[in-house]
Each structure stands twice: as structure tokens, then as C-alpha cells.
């Protein structure tokens, strides 16, 4: 009786496993038929791997992943996308190690912590795998032997936000960091606070937990009592929490709020005047472009001549918000 | 034959074989079977295994330690800060981190044994205290959340040789893992102190009546788990030439999981360090095997959960058979 029930449970587990496995085949065969055919060698043998640090709960990274998947379908190449479950650089470096052992035709990585990831990325480069970095790592990619960086330079983007914020006349600001440990976010805050300081204001960093919106909201609400008149959040997770905190404290419109990255919520907030601006780095391109570049590199050996391929910063303000809203709903911006 | 069947780690050994066969069949072609592939999961297993061995001994002694996760961040950051900010020798920094971990372990042990509060609660408190002070102090001193540049530290080379070198493609931590598992197994099964550990967890009052210093045993085990967390912190700080304030998050649960996979009871008094080491191996193989199998990371946790429940079931099934065979 006992062993029978165990066998039944095992059978169920086997079914679930089988489902999980089949679900993971990246390019659907139907879409390959629609892919543009070139006279060159078939592309379906090209396998690429993408490893980022993006947590699954972060809508920003869903858009990157949409870019990756759409590029894979358009080109008919096989791409696997992986990210550690939490912001864990040791786990991320091991995902890279595993991909290197699989010997893909190309590797795309984000580099939020060069110290921790350099060993694994260099191993990939040494193994002859072409590597392109995206999103974070614009300042270090070259030293690691990475061919090209697709993304925005973080310090300048933060400073740009600071200048725009200072122009509205704020004096006492918060930089809300939702991913403590990410060097790129540290750079954004530094750029932001430096620009504010240059304009004669002061400010500090407030760390919140991205995976827990209640925690984020209440931390911002508590910080607001200190006479803060400007907030920059570094992503949609914390901008939603900051908005909720402003509503809670009744200081909506009195405290200027700017954010990095777009979501439908952020865009409607800008349209409604609750948010001043959003700094847009067009992360869809950070997913899409490297797949195109690496496919071309594998097929023909061609690649842009190096450097940073900037996807941002651009600013979305009240004037431009409505155009962007539709695309954002489709997971493209 | 009966002695083999009686071993608590038999189930874990079967689990290791089952998980290996599964990924060898399913992902063998994509590098799981290659040397480099084996090196990636053995490296994960070796670090988790070091921790799980100590954690399983503490669990046999009847207690939990949840603070080991943030202990990894705290020790790693201590090492990095002392080297980066004060220019200390890497060895001196490692020694200070080790002493710090032993102190925290002792405080955990003293609070648990003196107050009779559940160790689950006490060490959960320590987890938060350590994690918060790591973030707080680091940001206060550096204004950042990562500290790197350990490669420039005094005596980096010798520390790298011991903690972060490679033998072929394999990480040297695998040797540490094996050595410490053998040592812990010997302590647990062949020494008087090992008997005390089983006694302290299985029947503390009876043990106390027989003259076993139960409190001392438990405090020693808390200090051991803390020290093993510090060892992992050292591996990772040296290997990745720096630290960040989140490192080690969740490791406390992974270590308990590995110990349970290895046949250690959550209620204390029964278990095996070899089993915990094998449990860590299962965990490492599942974690990397999923990548080799090309499973989309969205499904990663489903896969991990299913594999782990499966491994525990195999474990339980084998143990059930074992009881039947004994009759």
C-alpha cells in the first residue's frame, strides 16, 4: 500500500518533469517557417546563451527576455536565457560556467559585479566563445575581453536624472536602491547625488527590498518624514512603491518623483503628472541586438567595430508618454 | 550486508545515482558528462557540502542555525574591508573573520542553552542582525555594497593557492569537502564527543544524567557551523576577489535541505555527515543539470522542487525497504 502510493507520487512527478522539459524548448517550430530565409547556412544549428542578473519579479527583465525571444524567433536560432533566482553573483558566475561547458556559439552576459564575474567571463573568452555584455558593465567590458557592450552608461544616466531633477528646484533628495549589491545601481545613485550636490542640494541612498513591495513602500514613507522633496527610484519595482508611499503620505505632486525604466504604471503616472520623468534605456534592444550581432558574427564574422552601443539614456516625459504606452503594454518598452 | 542497509546515507547515495542518471540521459550531450561540466556542479556541491556537514552535526545535536547564511556575507565583507581599507594581510583578515564567526557561534550557543529558547528563533535573530550590520557597516565605510580588489591584498597568492586554485578544471574546494567530511565522520562515529552529539540531540536529559556536558556540546557545534560558514566566505572572497553584502543569502536553508536529503532528522539524534555531503552533491547536480538541460530559467524552481521531493522520496523508499529487509 505504502510503496504503491509512493509509486503513484513518483509517476506524477515524472509527468510534471516532462512538462517542464518540453516547455523549455525555446524557438517554436511554427515561427521558424516564418523566419526570413537567407541563402547562407541554416541558422537553427546556431546556439546562443544569455545570462543576466535580472530577478524574475522585475518587469524590466521580462522586456529584455522578450527581446531575446523575439530575436531568436525572427532569426531562427536557438537561445537559452538564464538568471539566478536572487541577486546572487556567485550563482550567476556558475550559470556562466555551465554555459561555457556547453560551448555555445555566443554568450550574452550582464556584468553588475565585475569582481565576482570576471573569472567566469574570462573563462568563456579563453574558450573562444564570443561574448557581448548588456545592461551593466559598460566601464569594464573591454578589460574582460568582451567584444561589445550594449546598454547605457550608468553614472551619466544617473547624473542626467539629477540635472533634470535639480531643474525642478528640489533641495533634499532620496535615491531608492532596490537591488543592494548591484554596482551599476550604486553608480546611478552616485551620478544622481553628485548632480544634485553640484546644484546645491543634498541627498542620500535609501535601500529597499525589491521582492517585497510593502517593505519598499513603508521605508520610503518613513524617509519622507525627513523633509525630502525629490525621489529618484532605480526601477519600476521601487517607483511603484514610492508612488504608493507618496499617496499614503498625501504628498503626491509636492515631492518630485523620477525613475529609471518604463512600465505601463510608470507611463500612466507620467501622463497623469504624478511622475516627473522616466529614464529610458530601451532594454528591449539590450535583449534583441546581441542575438542579431552574435548570429551575424557566427555566420559571416562581421561585428560593429566595438565600443559601447548606447541604448540610453533617453527621457520619457509628459509630452512623449502616450506614444510609448501602447508598446509598453506589449512588453517592448 | 545488514550493516550497509542500516546506514542513514544509503538513501542519499541512491538519490545521487538517480539524479546523475537522469541528467546523464537527458543532458549528457550538452556537457553535463564533460569534465568541465562535472567541475561546475562539484564546485557548488563542495561549498554547500562543507556547510551541510557542520549543519547536519548541529542538527544531530538537536539544534538549527539559520545565521550561517548572513555569516557568509559578514565574514566575506570583514575580509575584504580589512584588506581593502586597512591594507591588512589577507591571512590576518581571514583570521579575524574566523574569530568573529567563532564569537557569533558562541553567542548563539550560549543564548540557546541558557535561555532554552528554540534555536530556530535565536539564530533567525542573529541572521537579521548580521545581515543588517554587514550592509550598514559596508555602506558607512565605503558608500557601496561591494568591495573588491582583493587581488592586490598582501599574501593573496598563498591564500589563492589554498582556497581558490584548480587541479585541472576542478576546484580545490572539492579536496576540502572530502577532507572535512572524513574528519567529521570520524569525530561523529569514532570519538566520545561524537557519542555526546548523538546523546545531546536524541535524549538530552538521559545524556545529562550520564554526565554528558550537553550545553558545551551544543555551543561547540554552533561554533563549528559558524566557522564553516566563514570558510565558505573565504573561498568565495578569494575566488571572486571581493565580497558583496548579499552573498550567502538562502544558504542556511540549502544546507538544512542537504542535511535532510542525507538522512538527518529534523528532530535531532539521528543522521550522517556523509549523507549531508551526498545531499549537497544532489543539490549541486540538480542546480547545474537544469542549466545543461537548457530548461528555461522561469521553470528552474519547479524543476528544483520536483527533483528534491523526488530525491527525498527515493530516500524514504530505500529506508522503508531497509526496515523490511531487517525483519
User: Could you read off the pLDDT of A50-98 as tens digits, one per residue?
Assistant: 999 987 767 788 889 999 999 999 999 999 999 987 888 898 999 999 9
Q: Which domains does chain B have, with CATH numbers?
A: 8-325 (1.10.3470)
- The CATH number of residue A131's host domain is 3.40.50.2300
Q: How confident is the model at residue A124 (pLDDT cuts 50, 70, 90)?
A: very high
SS3 A49: strand
B289 pLDDT more than 60: yes
Complex confidence, ipTM:
0.73
Q: Tell me whether residues B135 and A94 touch, CB distance under 8 A.
A: no
Distance from CA of A72 to the nearest CA of B (A): 14
Q: What's the pLDDT at B323? A: 63
Residue B265: count of CB within 10 angstroms of its CB: 17
Residue A9 lies in a domain: no
Considering only CB atoms, which chain B residues are within 8 Å of A10? 310, 313
Question: In A, residues 47-106, which contact B (CB 8 Å cutoff)?
Answer: 56, 80-83, 85-90, 93-95, 97-103
> Is residue A116 situated within a structural domain?
yes
Are A204 and A239 contacting, i.e. CB atoms less than 8 angstroms apart? no
Can you point out the beta strands (E) in chain B?
Answer: 146-147, 166-167, 170-171, 243-244
Structural domain for A109, as ranges: 43-152+282-302
Residue A109 has pLDDT above 50, yes or no: yes
A137 and A51 part of one domain: yes
Asked if the C-beta of B31 comes within 8 angstroms of chain A's C-beta atoms, the answer is: yes
Q: Is residue A325 part of a domain?
A: no
Question: A24 contacts in B (CB within 8 Å)?
Answer: 293-296, 299
Q: Do A113 and B146 touch (CB under 8 A)?
A: yes
d(CA A169, CA A256): 9
Residues A179 and A227 in one domain: yes
Long-range contacts of A7-15 (CB under 8 A, 24+ apart): A9/B313, A10/B310, A10/B313, A13/B306, A13/B309, A13/B310, A13/B313
Query: Are residues A99 and A210 part of one domain?
Result: no
For residues A286 and A148, membership in a common domain is answered with: yes
Which pLDDT score is estimated for A190? Answer: 94
Q: What is the mean pLDDT of chain B?
A: 89
Structural domain includes residue A4? no
Same domain? A101 vs A212: no
Integer Rg of chain B from CA:
20
- What is the model's pTM? 0.77
The answer, yes or no, to whether residue A41 has pLDDT greater than 90, is no
Q: How many CB pairs under 8 A join A and B?
A: 135
Asked whether residue A24 is domain-assigned, the answer is: no
A143 and A84 together in one domain: yes
Residues A61 and A144 in one domain: yes
Asked if residues A165 and A174 have their Cβ atoms less than 8 Å apart, the reply is no
Least confident of A164-178, A274-288, B284-298: B284-298
A120 and A57, same structural domain? yes
Within the 293-312 window of chain B, which residues sit less than 8 Å (CB to CB) from chain A? 293-303, 306-307, 309-310
Q: What is the mean pLDDT of residues A110-132?
A: 93
* Assigned domain for A258 exists: yes
Chain segment A137-186, per-residue pLDDT in tens: 888 999 999 999 999 888 989 999 999 999 999 999 999 998 877 888 98
Contact B246 A86 (CB under 8 A): yes
Residue contact B241–A115, C-beta within 8 A: yes
**Cβ distance of B36 and A100 shorter than 8 Å:** yes
Q: With beta carbons under 8 A apart, name residues in chain A contacting B242.
A: 113, 115-116
* Same domain flag for A245 and A234: yes
Instruction: Note which residues in 245-264 of chain A have CB less than 8 A from chain B.
Output: none
Q: Do A6 and B36 touch (CB under 8 A)?
A: no
Percent of chain B topping pLDDT 90: 59
Q: Is A316 within the bounds of a domain? A: no
Q: Which of B245, B292, B297 sits opposite A83 (nearest CB)?
A: B297
> Which of B146, B250, B300 is facing A183, going by the closest CB pair?
B146
- Higher pLDDT: B123 or B5? It is B123
Co-location of A88 and A122 in the same domain: yes
Confidence of residue A290 (pLDDT cuts 50, 70, 90): very high
| Domain count within chain A | 2
Q: How far is CA A301 from CA A105, A258, A304, in A?
A: 12, 42, 10
Interchain contact, B302 vs A93, CB within 8 Å: no
Same domain, yes or no: A141 and A168: no
pLDDT higher than 50, residue A29: no
* Local confidence band at A306 (pLDDT 50, 70, 90 cut-offs): confident
Total residues found in chain B within this entry: 327
How close, in Å, is residue A20 to chain B by CA atoms?
7
Confirm or reject contact between A288 and chain B (CB < 8 A): no
User: Would you place residue B173 in the very low, low, confident or very high pLDDT band (cuts 50, 70, 90)?
Assistant: very high
Task: Flag if B317 and A3 touch (Cβ within 8 Å).
Answer: yes
On whether both A55 and A163 belong to a single domain, the answer is: no
Task: Look at residue A290 and tell me if it is in a domain.
Answer: yes
pLDDT in tens, A179-214: 877 888 989 999 999 999 999 999 999 888 777 778
Amino acid at each position: 500500500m505504502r510503496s504503491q502510493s509512493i509509486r503513484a507520487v513518483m509517476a506524477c512527478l515524472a509527468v510534471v518533469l516532462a512538462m517542464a522539459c518540453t516547455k523549455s524548448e525555446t524557438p517554436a517550430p511554427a515561427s521558424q517557417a516564418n523566419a526570413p530565409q537567407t541563402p547562407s547556412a541554416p541558422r537553427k544549428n546556431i546556439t546562443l546563451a544569455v545570462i543576466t542578473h535580472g530577478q524574475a519579479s522585475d518587469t524590466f527583465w521580462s522586456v529584455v527576455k522578450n527581446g531575446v525571444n523575439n530575436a531568436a524567433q525572427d532569426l531562427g536560432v536557438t537561445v537559452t536565457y538564464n538568471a539566478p533566482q536572487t541577486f546572487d553573483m556567485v550563482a550567476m558566475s556558475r550559470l556562466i560556467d555551465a554555459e561555457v561547458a556547453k560551448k555555445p556559439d555566443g554568450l550574452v552576459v550582464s556584468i553588475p559585479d565585475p569582481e565576482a564575474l570576471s573569472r567566469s567571463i574570462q573563462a568563456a573568452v579563453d574558450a573562444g566563445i564570443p561574448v557581448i555584455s548588456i545592461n551593466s558593465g559598460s566601464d569594464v567590458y573591454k578589460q574582460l575581453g568582451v567584444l561589445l557592450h550594449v546598454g547605457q552608461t550608468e553614472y551619466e544616466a544617473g547624473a542626467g536624472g539629477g540635472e533634470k531633477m535639480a531643474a525642478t528646484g528640489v533641495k533634499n533628495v532620496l535615491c531608492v536602491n532596490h537591488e543592494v549589491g548591484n554596482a551599476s545601481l550604486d553608480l546611478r545613485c552616485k551620478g544622481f547625488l553628485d548632480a544634485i550636490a553640484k546644484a546645491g542640494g543634498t541627498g542620500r541612498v535609501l535601500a529597499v527590498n525589491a521582492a517585497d513591495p510593502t517593505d519598499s513602500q513603508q521605508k520610503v514613507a518613513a524617509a519622507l518624514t525627513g523633509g525630502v522633496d525629490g525621489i529618484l527610484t532605480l526601477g519600476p519595482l521601487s517607483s511603484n512603491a514610492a508612488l504608493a508611499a507618496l499617496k499614503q503620505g498625501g504628498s503626491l505632486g509636492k515631492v518630485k518623483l523620477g525613475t529609471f525604466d518604463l512600465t505601463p504604471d510608470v507611463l500612466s503616472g507620467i501622463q497623469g503628472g504624478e511622475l516627473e520623468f522616466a529614464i529610458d534605456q530601451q532594454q528591449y534592444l539590450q535583449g534583441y541586438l546581441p542575438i542579431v550581432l552574435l548570429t551575424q558574427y557566427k555566420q559571416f564574422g562581421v561585428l560593429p567595430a566595438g565600443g559601447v552601443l548606447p541604448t540610453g539614456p533617453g527621457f520619457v516625459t509628459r509630452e512623449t508618454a502616450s506614444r510609448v504606452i501602447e508598446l509598453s503594454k506589449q512588453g517592448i518598452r | 550486508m545488514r550493516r550497509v542497509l542500516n546506514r542513514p546515507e544509503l538513501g542519499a547515495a541512491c538519490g545521487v545515482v538517480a539524479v546523475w542518471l537522469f541528467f546523464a540521459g537527458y543532458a549528457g550531450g550538452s556537457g553535463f558528462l564533460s569534465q568541465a561540466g562535472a567541475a561546475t556542479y562539484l564546485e557548488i556541491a563542495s561549498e554547500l557540502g562543507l556547510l551541510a556537514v557542520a549543519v547536519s552535526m548541529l542538527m544531530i545535536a538537536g539544534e538549527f542555525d539559520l545565521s550561517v547564511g548572513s555569516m557568509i556575507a559578514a565574514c566575506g565583507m570583514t575580509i575584504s574591508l580589512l584588506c581593502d581599507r586597512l591594507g591588512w594581510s589577507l591571512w590576518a583578515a581571514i583570521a579575524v573573520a574566523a574569530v568573529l564567526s567563532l564569537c557569533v557561534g558562541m553567542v548563539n550557543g550560549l543564548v540557546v542553552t541558557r535561555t532554552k529558547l528554540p534555536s530556530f528563533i535565536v539564530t533567525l535573530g542573529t541572521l537579521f542582525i548580521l545581515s543588517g550590520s554587514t550592509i550598514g557597516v559596508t555602506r558607512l565605510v565605503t558608500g557601496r555594497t561591494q568591495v573588491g580588489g582583493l587581488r592586490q591584498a598582501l599574501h593573496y597568492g598563498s591564500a589563492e593557492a589554498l582556497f581558490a586554485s584548480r587541479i585541472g578544471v576542478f576546484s580545490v574546494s572539492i579536496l576540502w569537502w572530502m577532507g572535512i567530511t572524513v574528519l567529521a565522520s570520524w569525530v561523529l562515529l569514532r570519538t566520545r564527543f561524537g557519542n555526546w552529539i548523538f546523546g545531546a540531540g536524541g535524549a538530552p536529559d538521559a545524556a545529562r544524567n550520564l554526565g554528558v556536558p550537553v550545553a558545551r556540546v551544543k555551543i561547540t557545534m554552533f561554533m563549528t557551523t559558524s566557522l564553516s560558514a566563514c570558510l565558505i566566505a573565504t573561498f568565495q572572497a578569494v575566488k571572486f576577489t571581493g565580497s558583496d553584502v548579499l552573498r550567502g543569502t538562502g544558504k542556511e536553508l540549502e544546507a538544512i535541505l542537504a542535511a535532510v536529503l542525507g538522512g538527518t532528522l529534523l528532530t535531532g539524534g539521528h543522521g550522517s555527515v556523509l549523507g549531508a555531503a551526498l545531499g549537497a552533491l544532489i543539490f549541486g547536480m540538480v542546480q547545474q543539470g537544469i542549466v545543461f538541460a537548457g530548461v528555461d530559467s522561469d521553470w528552474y524552481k519547479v524543476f528544483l522542487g520536483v527533483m528534491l521531493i523526488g530525491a527525498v522520496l527515493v530516500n524514504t523508499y530505500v529506508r522503508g525497504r531497509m526496515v523490511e529487509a531487517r525483519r
